[in-house]
Chains A and B, each alone.
Chain A
Amino acid sequence: MKGRALYLDGVSVVFDGFRALNNLSLIVEPGELRAVIGPNGAGKTTMMDVITGKTRPTAGTVRFGEADLTRLDEPAIATLGIGRKFQKPTVFDHLTVFENLELALKAPRGAIACVKWRLSGEARDRIARVTEEVGLLARAHDPAGILSHGQRQWLEIGMLLAQDPELLLVDEPVAGMTDAETERTAAMLVGIAGPRSVVVVEHDLEFVRALGRRVTVLHEGSVLSEGSIDHVQNDPRVIEVYLGR
């Protein structure tokens, strides 16, 4: 893997006069796991939307290696090697676990290519491996629609594994989870990361502490503070934003 950096410079997004992102700049090095935190409305989800092509920035540069992400749409960015996990697990309810993973598997994405696609032994093995990794082996041929909430989360993570992205964006993965689940999810994400770059958006500081990596704090659409968790937690501006005066 050659390793590409994610590079955001001076990115602004304006909705009807409201600045969701305000001159945001951020660099994620190849292989880095970065936590992005911030209070509600800080622009975390909008930042994800800009990187994945869902929202076009009003101004600024967004690059992944040499590719200009502002000129690409979601599928093109996804095939470039950027995967995204939503806050609410979204899987394909009417397809089986196996089929969900099959669709995620790295392969040509065109209509004709999909018609011609035949499942090779190698692909089958890979799907089986991923299914095992996320602990869904027993349910491989059940429709995703009948899985429990947690299993759907694992399935979605499995789909990201099968997609094998170079950069992984994870949106609030532990919202509404118990402490035990949170811990397990943190371990899983660290495990997935490996050679990949990962950006985790979260506003749960404890979870971020569990990840133990570099942290960026967003506030009102721009970077407020950046550094280790201890550094940002002692930054008076961060304290002010989180605790108020």
Chain B
Amino acid sequence: MRRIAILLLVLLAPLAGHAQDAFEAALAGLGGGFAQQAEAAERLGMLGDPRAVPILRALSDGRLLRAGDGALLVREGDRNTFALTGAAAEISGAEPVRINNRVRAALRGALGRLSLVSPDQAERLAAAEAVFRSRAAENIPLLEAALARENVARIRERMELALAASRLAAGDEAAKRAGIAELGASASTEARAVLLESRAAAPALAAEIDAAVTAIDRRLAIRHAAETFFQGLSLGSVLLLAALGLAVTFGVMGVINMAHGEFVMLGAYTTFVMQEALRGIPALAPWSLPLSVPAAFLVAAACGAVLERGLIRHLYGRPLETLLLTFGVGMMIQQAVRLGFGAQNREVTSPPWMQGTLELAFGVTVTQNRLWILVFSLLVLGLTVAAIHLTRFGLEMRAVTQNRRIAAAMGIRTGRVDAFTFAFGSGIAGIAGVALSQIDNVSPNLGSGYIIDSFMVVVFGGVGSLAGTLVGAMSLGVVNKVLEPYAGVVLAKVFVLVAIMLFIQRRPRGLFALRGRAAEQ
């Protein structure tokens, strides 16, 4: 009976525009007897006015005082304020308001409800979750009031879900129907559970519930597919970064560089060194990751140039020997890093703008650093394409690739072009290392896992085609992630390897094949 009265009060209060009065009237009750206090607390809880929160908390902590004139004061440390206005109060002789267990229970309930309108977002979110779980029809007005003032989308969404669930728990059929329809419009596993749970209790609504569940399932499937797709693209972006440099050195020069993975690893260590070196310079420290990109490019490119001019140059036309030679070099680089930096993992911290997750439509969440790496990999691809197709160096590089002797006859210094091309490809590997330092362990054998994958990407996409490398990397990434739930991480990899072998059967020159005479070489 009393509940209904309160309910009416609450419902009428905002309509009548007397919220101020209702709040004031309810507040006064806190100074009365225990029964009065409990009722006042409940009313305040239902009113959904955030001003009540500190006052109820003070009462619960024994910091609510009653002055001689009956005015209520809140003690904050060594100063007092008027509960109603929040103005400072210089009143002595105020007595703490005492409460009993019944009042305490009422306070807890009221505070719980009021946290729906708390200024703290996390608190509001937690309250919405709690209300969702409790699923009581009596919370409906409270939720409506809270929704009216809520403007954070994420919290609104939870509150709407809670409201729908509460409506489903309501007595009358129309409210239930509304609740089912609203739950059915969501993409939440919890909503699905709530619907299934209520199915037994409401056999008359079974058809509606089933339809709603189906709708949710469809949305969940889309979300899952979208997330899998993003994970695939993310893996693909890593593969793309790792394979791009190889696409240049192998695809353009026909030199297989088994130390490619070690250049990636050097890029990751350059990032670590930059982070440590810039730690002491406050102006530059936040920029250590962006600054690592050119640094890693230069370090890896320099190593690549030395490797090409010093060793590989002597083995052109002998690809198998080049493979063995570069493998040996990679082994030495790895051991040198192991001795220099230790075998354990090195910590590279992500800048704040790369941390956290991003929520997209349907509750699809993506991590920021993965998203950045995806964007970054496409950027690097774009720059690589630009370097090859728009610059003088790229023109000479393509000329030497197509016909070395004619290029030399035209006055192109082929040796220098070779060195630059190799350095360029190695530099891209270094850049890949910067990105990998954000998601992988920075250790001496960071790169060794990437050479096979990168090679597969280049071969699958079509040797000599950067578009092929992009498509190859992304499709391998997505296929890997799609297979993973069915086959597990390891077997998914095995499947992909076998699939590529079979694919090469049908199209020995990859997806984007060069054909005709050029391909016969």
Q: Do chains A and B touch in the complex (CB under 8 A)?
A: yes
State whether the Cβ of B516 lies closer than 8 Å to any Cβ in chain A: yes
Query: Beta-carbon contacts of B445-467 to A below 8 Å, as 1s and 0s?
Result: 00000000000000000000000
Main secondary structure of the interface of B (DSSP, over half): loop
Interface residues in A1-26 by Cβ distance below 8 A to B read 15-16, 18, 20
Convert B485-521 into 0s and 1s, putting 1 for each residue whose CB lies closer than 8 angstroms to a CB of A: 0000000000000000000000000000001100000
A149 and B516 CA atoms in complex are apart in Å by 28
Residues of A within 8 A of B515 (CB): 15-16
Q: Chain B residue with minimal CB distance to A20? A: B516
Which residues from chain B contact A18 at a C-beta distance below 8 Å? 516
A15 to B516, alpha carbons, bound, how many Å? 6
Q: How far is the CA of A69 from the CA of B184 in the complex (A)?
A: 65
Q: Size of chain B's interface in residues, with CB distance under 8 A?
A: 2
* Chain A neighbourhood of B516, CB < 8 A: 15-16, 18, 20
Complex: A20 Cα to B516 Cα, angstroms: 9
| Distance between B1 CB and nearest chain A CB, rounded to angstroms | 86
Q: Within the complex, what minimum Cβ distance (angstroms) separates A127 from chain B?
A: 32
- Kindly state the separation between the CA atoms of A16 and B516 in the bound complex, as whole angstroms: 8
- A16 closest partner in B (C-beta): B515
Shortest distance from the beta carbon of A18 to any chain B beta carbon, whole Å: 6
A19 CB, min distance to chain B CBs, angstroms: 11
Considering the complex, give the chain A residue whose CB is closest to the CB of B514.
Answer: A16
CA distance A16 to B509 in the complex (A): 13
Nearest-neighbour CB distance to chain B for A93, whole angstroms, equals: 14
Which residues 209-228 in B have Cβ within 8 Å of A in the complex? none
Complex formed: what's the CA distance from A15 to B515 in Å? 7
Closest CB of chain A to B511's CB: distance in Å?
14
Residues on B with beta carbons closer than 8 Å to the beta carbon of A15: 515-516
Q: Inside 8 A of A16's CB, which chain B residues have their CB? A: 515-516
Question: Chain A nearest CB: distance from B512 CB in Å?
Answer: 11
How many angstroms from the CA of A16 to the CA of B515 in the assembled complex? 7
- In the complex, the chain B residue whose C-beta lies closest to that of A49 is B520
> Across the two chains, which residue of chain B brings its CB closest to A18?
B516
* Closest Cβ–Cβ distance, residue B478 to chain A (whole Å): 27
Return chain B residues, CB-CB under 8 Å to A20.
516
Cα–Cα, bound, A20→B517 (Å): 11
| Cα A110 to Cα B82 with chains together (Å) | 105
Complex CA gap A18/B517 in Å reads: 11
Q: Count chain B CB atoms within 10 A of each CB in A16, A18, A20 and give the residue with the most.
A: A16
The CA of A18 and the CA of B515, in the complex, are separated in Å by 10
Q: Which residue of A lies closest to B519 (CB)?
A: A15
B516, closest chain A residue (CB): A15
Q: How far is the CB of A141 from chain B (nearest CB, A)?
A: 27
| Bound-complex Cα distance A15 to B509 (A) | 13
Interface string of B247-287 (1 = CB under 8 A from A): 00000000000000000000000000000000000000000
Q: How far apart are B514's CB and chain A's nearest CB, in angstroms?
A: 9
Rounded to whole angstroms, the CA-CA distance of A20 and B515 in the bound complex is 12
User: Separation in Å of the B287 CB from the closest CB of chain A?
Assistant: 47
Complex: how many Å from CA A143 to CA B515?
35
Residues 397-434 of B contacting A (Cβ, < 8 Å): none
8 Å CB interface, B277-321 against A:
none
A54 to chain B, nearest CB (A): 9
Query: Which A residues between 80 and 112 are near B, CB-CB below 8 angstroms?
Result: none
Q: What residue of chain B has the Cβ atom nearest to residue A54's Cβ?
A: B520
A118 to chain B, nearest CB (A): 33
Assembled-state Cα–Cα distance A16/B465 (Å): 15
Q: What's the least CB distance linking A81 to chain B, in Å?
A: 26
What separation, in Å, do the CA atoms of A40 and B515 have in the docked complex? 18
Q: Can you give 6 A-B contacts (C-beta < 8 A)?
A: A15-B515, A15-B516, A16-B515, A16-B516, A18-B516, A20-B516
Ranked nearest first, the 6 interchain pairs of A and B with the lowest CB-CB distance are A15-B516, A16-B515, A15-B515, A18-B516, A16-B516, A20-B516
